[in-house]
């Protein structure tokens, strides 16, 4: 197992983490782990069950009896919550508005990190989130911190919604992103933070292909030395 590779991709909402992480994982034949989808899934279950998202103990108990699986399909990844496909539903605005509250609880994070680390012990992984390089796989050989201006990140999410035929309000998206960035960066338990040894990429003016290529160049460089 000594040869397993770990690539950590962190950064704020809409920086392009999941799009880029998934492509890099596909190209390298590594397992992609969308840790945000895991926090979103338990948030959805809490909301459905009327569990108060400020109550750490209740959330922790709920998580203990919850199965979350990330399953690879030929051209996408689906998210299963207790075997139900919730891939779309976890992206709803109600989940997005509540997820940072759920993710701030230390005991929720401990359980999530345990599950994430289990996968990285058995497979080469590309994992994206907020605390991957700092807490989940601090021993990752490659750590990337993706950033982009808040206007660009809001625009990306807005266009994504419009492409899906959904109603979308650019100003509201920008406000929601700013609030989530603040909550994620200022929480006590493993906040959103660039690891000291992470490479920062500002993707504001970069295409997805350019970001993927930059990361692959970093991987090739690592493998050469």
Give the per-residue contact string, 95-134, with ligand CDP (x = CB under 6 A; - = no).
----xx--x-------------------------xxxx--
Quick check: 19 binds ligand CDP (CB under 6 A)? Answer: yes
Quick check: 35 binds ligand CDP (CB under 6 A)? Answer: yes
Stretch (H or E) spanning 84:
strand 84-85
Give the per-residue contact string, 54-93, with ligand CDP (x = CB under 6 A; - = no).
----------------------------------------
Distance CA 103, CA 109 (A): 7
Quick check: 150 binds ligand CDP (CB under 6 A)? Answer: no
Quick check: 184 binds ligand CDP (CB under 6 A)? Answer: yes
Region label for 13, one of left (φ > 0), alpha (ψ between -120 and 50) or beta (otherwise): beta
Q: Which stretch binds ligand CDP (CB under 6 A): 7-15, 24-32, 46-54, 66-74?
A: 7-15
Region label for 145, one of left (φ > 0), alpha (ψ between -120 and 50) or beta (otherwise): beta
Say if residue 19 carries a ligand binding annotation: yes
DSSP β-bridge partners for residue 9: 128, 144
Quick check: 143 binds ligand CDP (CB under 6 A)? Answer: no
Residue count, binding to ligand CDP (CB under 6 A): 29
Quick check: 41 binds ligand CDP (CB under 6 A)? Answer: no
Say if residue 29 carries a ligand binding annotation: no
Token pair recorded at residue 21? 């992480």
Residue that the structure tokens 């994620």 belong to: 184
Task: Decide if 33 contacts 27 (C-beta within 8 A).
Answer: no
Quick check: 211 binds ligand CDP (CB under 6 A)? Answer: yes
Say if residue 8 carries a ligand binding annotation: no
Quick check: 217 binds ligand CDP (CB under 6 A)? Answer: no
Long-range own/partner contacts, residues 52-57 (CB < 8 A, 24 or more apart): 53/98, 53/101, 53/102, 54/101, 56/105, 56/106, 56/107, 56/108, 57/107
- Binding ligand CDP by CB under 6 A: which of 33, 39, 134, 144? 39
DSSP code at position 12: S
Closest CB to ligand CDP among residues 125, 129: 129
């Amino acid at each position: 197992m000594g040869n397993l590779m770990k690539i950590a991709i962190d950064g704020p909402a809409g920086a392009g983490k999941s799009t880029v992480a998934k492509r890099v994982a596909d190209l390298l034949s590594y397992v992609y782990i969308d840790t945000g989808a895991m926090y979103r899934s338990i948030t959805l279950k809490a909301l459905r069950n009327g569990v108060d998202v400020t109550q750490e103990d209740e959330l922790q108990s709920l998580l203990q009896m919850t199965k979350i699986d990330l399953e690879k399909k030929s051209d996408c990844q689906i998210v299963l919550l207790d075997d139900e496909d919730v891939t779309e539903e976890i992206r709803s605005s109600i989940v997005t508005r509540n997820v940072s509250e759920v993710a701030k609880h230390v005991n929720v994070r401990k359980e999530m990190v345990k599950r994430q680390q289990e996968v990285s012990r058995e497979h080469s992984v590309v994992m994206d989130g907020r605390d991957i390089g700092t807490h989940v796989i601090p021993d990752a050989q490659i750590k990337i911190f993706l950033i982009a201006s808040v206007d660009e990140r809001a625009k990306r999410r807005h266009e994504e919604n419009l492409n899906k035929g959904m109603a979308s309000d650019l100003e509201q998206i920008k406000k929601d992103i700013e609030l989530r960035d603040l909550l994620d960066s200022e929480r006590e338990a493993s906040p959103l933070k660039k690891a000291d040894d992470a490479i920062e990429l500002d993707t504001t003016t970069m295409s997805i292909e350019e970001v993927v290529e930059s990361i692959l160049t970093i991987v090739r460089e690592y493998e050469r030395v």
